Structure 1
Amino acid sequence: MTLTTLVSGGSAGMREAAIYSALEQELGVTSERSGVHLSTALILEGLPDGKTAALPPGLAQDLDIKRIAPGCFCCIGNLTLRVTLNRLLRKPPARIYIGIADSTHLPRLRDFLCHPPYDDFLELTPDLVL
């Protein structure tokens, strides 16, 4: 099962910075325990201004970052999210973070991810709301 965290609120840069901070903490603990970094994928709602948060050194090797055009995943029918998830889950990472702008849609997105086929692949963790 792939641990999956939904991240919402704040600006796109704030969401990315929060994800990177969580990853640094998690990967630091994991590597101290086992000497191994976990593979991680990020699905991020695209940025209209093209700017991204600075990626901390040492994280790039284990990150697979996918950007989806701006727009609510659930309101546009989840097609883009579905395609992106299906591609990622062919060779599942240990962890996925999904960053979305509007936290009011978290329940619908969480519901979508808790049903087939994703319920067999994803283990949802508590949301990270900014």
Structure 2
Amino acid sequence: MVYTMLQMKLKGKMRMKIFIIVLFCAFILVSLCRFLSRWLNFGKRKLIPLKDTYQESHLDKKISYDDFKKIMQCIGDSYKIEPEKLRLNDSFRGNLGALDSFVLDHYADTLEDRLKNEFKIIIDKPVDTIADLMNIYFH
């Protein structure tokens, strides 16, 4: 009887060790996937000055450069990306969404909060790209 109790305690300790190892491996795997997602989507991009991006854009010219710069900085800060690496055709469901999927839409929520606080804009319908966001809400 004592032997079976000792054996049960050892099984419990072994299960706990296995659980900790699995938890640690899961953490490493998620961290690696986050890094790879960020690197594959934005790591190889060259920095383009925001002024050049603004001049080459086909946005409504009702958006001033200052507003354009603030919006790009807001998006960059929310997604933790340098604004100069962002492109107007970056999709919130595509490459930006790939970053957001690992943190359960935290970046998108942060962006919505910042747009609401800084620009008094509430996003009531989904937008696909950064250019769509600017054309719809900043006219």
- TM-score relative to the length of structure 2: 0.32
Structure (1 or 2) with the greater strand fraction:
1
Q: Which one has more relative contact order, counting CA pairs under 8 Å at least 6 apart?
A: 1
Structure (1 or 2) with the greater helix fraction:
2
Select the structure of larger CA radius of gyration: 2
